[in-house]
Amino acid sequence: MLDSSIMLIVKWFVGLMLIMMMVAVALFCIQLSDVNSYKQQVNYQIERHGGLTKEAAANLKDYSEKQYQGALSVKSDQLNKKVNFGDVVDYQVVANLKIILFNLPDVEMKFHGSATSQVR
């Protein structure tokens, strides 16, 4: 009789841990999907400002602070430089993602992207 009670408790514990892990993975994937919308915003700023100028970088920093609590940032060799019409600007989005529900360190991931300047 005691064995069945212990097994029942173990089954509930394992089941709840699996549910928590699935929820944590789902929340991580939702955070990961935010990178695509931020990359689109970076592309818009590059197209509108003729590169990753100081104004574009400031706009992106403000956008990241407001929308993503500063979890996303942009790096580039062409940062704070205006480029000619049609030039390609390569950049890297750095994402510091938190693992929710578990006390684990933040995950840093880097995503590459590029956009073309549309300012003459």
| Residues 23-65 pLDDT 10s | 999 999 999 999 999 999 999 999 999 999 999 999 999 999 9
CA 10 to chain centre: 36
Is the full-model pTM beyond 0.95?
Answer: no
Separation of CA 33 from chain center? 7
Amino acid at residue number 33: S
Q: Alpha helices of 1-120 — where are they, by DSSP H?
A: 2-49, 54-68
How many domains, in total, are found in the chain?
1
**120 has pLDDT over 90:** no
Query: How far is 62 from 73, CA to CA, in rounded Å?
Result: 10
Residue 71 DSSP class = -
Q: Are strands 107-116 and 88-97 parallel, antiparallel or unpaired?
A: antiparallel
Q: Summarize pLDDT for 61-84 with one digit per residue, the tens.
A: 999 999 999 999 999 999 999 999
Give the integer Cα–Cα distance in Å for 18 and 21: 5
Residue 82: which domain range?
Answer: 2-116
